[in-house]
Structure formats: C-alpha cells, structure tokens
Amino acid sequence: MSAASPRAWYIVDDVPDAAVGYRAIIDAEGYIVCNPSPMGAANARLIANAPALADALAWALDQIDDDLDLDHRAALDHARAVLTQALNTTAGDNRL
C-alpha cells in the first residue's frame, strides 16, 4: 500500500442556515464530508485531518516493512488491516 496524493479537508465554522456552534467538514472541492453538527473543535480537527493521518500511516507502514521479526510483522499486518477497513467503509460519502 502506498500513500495516496494529499487530500485536504477543512473545518467550516460559519455554516449557512445552521445553528450557532455547528461545524461542517468540506473537501478541497467544496463537497460536504461531514454534515453540520455541534461537534467540538477537537473532533472537527480530527475529522478534518483524517485523510492526512491515513496517508501518513500508509507511508509509515511501507517504510517499516523490511526486516521485521514475527511479532513486528503481526503488528504491521494488523495496522494495515485497520487502515484498509477505515479506507473501505461504505457509510456515507467517504472520500478517504
């Protein structure tokens, strides 16, 4: 698995027609990734940075793939499986 090209998501605090304090997450093309909700700032930052986190994890997994003992190989395989599961979700409009 190799890291994909960077994908940016952005937090929008001033959502038209939404209650004060509602945030949305949009992608670089302006599509809504996470509908407006009263999510906290920390949650919004985590969601907005999910694509970059997935890319960083995929790159790191590729870098540490060589010369691993069996315990480390199992940990690497588990991390890859979790990343694959996160990237292959069918819930909602995912752009990961």
Cα separation, 38 vs 92, in Å, equals 18
**Residue 89 in this model has a pLDDT that exceeds 70:** no
Q: What is the pLDDT of residues 22-73, one digit of tens each?
A: 888 888 888 888 888 887 787 888 888 888 888 888 888 888 876 677 778 8
Measured from the Cβ of residue 80, the count of other Cβ atoms closer than 10 Å reads 16
pLDDT beyond 50 at 95: no
At CA 1, angle to CA 88 and CA 71, rounded to 5?
A: 100
Supply the pTM of this predicted model. Answer: 0.58
Whether 5 has a pLDDT exceeding 50, the answer reads no
